[in-house]
Amino acid sequence: MPQIDADKCDNCGLCVSVCDCGALVYIEDTVTVIETHTCGWCMMCEAVCPLGALTCPFEIMFDETTQP
Amino acid sequence: MTIQREFLESIPYFTGLNATELDSVRHLMFERTVDRNEIIQFESESAETLFFITSGAVKVFKTSSEGKEQILSIARPGGSFNDIAIFDDGPSPASAQAMGPVLLYGISRNELQTILREHPQVALNTIKVLADRTRQLVELVEDLSFRHVIGRVAKILLEQAGDGTSPRPRLTQQDMAAMAGTVREVVARSLKALEEEGAIRLERHQIKIADKEILEDMVTASV
């Protein structure tokens, strides 16, 4: 799931406003990540965050089914 | 809901205005709420209103004839869009779409011209806003022109890729940007371009290298 750096986040909620799948919500005025399988990793939350507090980390790997 | 004077103060166009001046500006503005994904402005159509984002985010983008989208900027609270078409009276050079629920303050071209005549400070602020916009677009041209950035991203992908047998550290786009000596937005564009080339597949949590040779060719071409 997307990860929030609580030290950087000022809970402005821009990420919550663009999140289409409900993975990011306000709980007691704090932006919180909810575990959900509907998160399509669109990365819009990361794109709109003005403070770089929200990230969507990737694991990079070779796709063995497509390599020659 | 009434338009907040305090919020107007945070808009670069109105920096330095006193309370009375801000009130006179405030009375010329109107509010508009926009739903997620709603297109607020279509490219090539006339734009009669300068919009300021009060809450939410707006994507400003161009679309190619093949349907490929190029994001020019993301306007956040305090930011604006439609600036260019409002001032040169031409068609809008880009489209604008709400990325979520958005609250906007708007001001018509005619009302804005009245403000500019009555408040020279706003005219000076406008020059700075448009200069900032020009600087941002020049940086975008630089990113798009110098294709070596995509080669650096390709090199990082090849270097950091695991075979799936052992855990690898997860990288964010910001991490890759720091490694490539660029900014996150450029990495995002590069990854999208690499996906369109068929070199990688972007999946949830994973970047899968689908064609190693394409990436290697890009690394070579960028040297």
pLDDT at residue B223 greater than cutoff 90: no
Q: Which CATH number belongs to the domain containing residue A33 in this structure? A: 3.30.70.20
B182-218 pLDDT per residue, tens: 888 888 888 988 999 999 998 888 899 999 999 999 8
Q: Is residue A44 part of a domain?
A: yes
Confidence category of residue B127, pLDDT binned at 50, 70, 90: very high
For B17-75, what is each residue's pLDDT tens digit? Answer: 999 999 999 999 999 999 988 999 999 999 999 999 999 999 999 888 877 777 788 89
Average pLDDT of the segment spanning A35-55: 88
- Record the tokens describing residue B54, joined without a space: 């009060």
Query: CA B97, CA B16: separation in Å to the nearest integer?
Result: 30
Residue A61 within any structural domain of the chain: no
Per-residue pLDDT for A33 more than 80? yes
The whole-number pLDDT of residue B159 equals 85
Structure tokens at B88: 């040169």
- Nearest-neighbour CA in chain B from A34: distance (Å): 15
Mean pLDDT throughout B173-188? 83
Phi first, then psi, for residue B21 (nearest 5°) are -65, -40
A68 lies in some domain: no
The pLDDT of residue B147 is above 80: no
User: Residue B80: pLDDT above 80?
Assistant: yes
So what's the pLDDT on residue B143? 67
Contact A59 B206 (CB under 8 A): yes
Nearest to B208 among A41, A46, A61 (CB): A61
Domains of chain B: 5-134 (2.60.120.10), 145-222 (1.10.10.10)
A60 belongs to a structural domain? no
pLDDT band at B5 (very low <50, low <70, confident <90, very high): confident
By C-alpha distance, which of B91, B121, B90, B86 is closest to B107? Answer: B86
Contacts of B35 (CB under 8 A, 6+ apart): B98, B101
Task: Specify the residue for token string 């804005």.
Answer: B112
pLDDT at residue A11 in the model: 95
**What chain B residue is nearest to A43 in terms of C-alpha separation?**
B188
Q: What six digits make up the tokens of B39? A: 């297109």
Within-domain flag for A49: yes
Chain B residues in contact with A8 by the CB 8 A cut-off are none
For the CA atoms of B30, B31, B37, B43, the dihedral, rounded to the nearest 10 degrees, stands at 10
The verdict on residue A50 lying in a domain is yes
Query: Over 60: is that where the pLDDT of B115 sits?
Result: yes
- Annotate B76-121 with DSSP letters as a single string: -TT-EE-HHHHHH-SB-SSEEEESSSEEEEEEEHHHHHHHHHH-HH
Is B3 or A60 the better-scoring residue by pLDDT? Answer: A60
Mean of all residue pLDDT scores within chain B: 88
- How far is residue B209's CA from residue B31's CA, in Å, rounded to a whole number? 47
- B202, with CB counted inside 10 A (0-12, 13-18, 19+), is middle
Residue B65 three-state SS: coil
Residue B120 CA to residue B190 CA, distance in Å, equals 42
| Eight-class DSSP state of A45 | H
- What Rg do the C-alpha atoms of chain A give, in angstroms? 14
Residues of B with CB under 8 A from a CB of A: 36, 55-57, 74, 76-77, 99-102, 157, 160-164, 168, 170-175, 184-185, 188, 201-213
In the block, tokens 């300068």 appear at B50
Predicted confidence at residue A10, as pLDDT, reads 95
Give the count of domains, chain A. Answer: 1
pLDDT of residue B116: 94
B159-190 burial, b at 16+ Cβ within 10 Å, e below that, comes to ebbeeeeeeeebbbbbbbbebbebebbbbbbb
Domain boundaries, position A11: 3-55
CA dist., res. B69 & res. B128, Å (int): 28
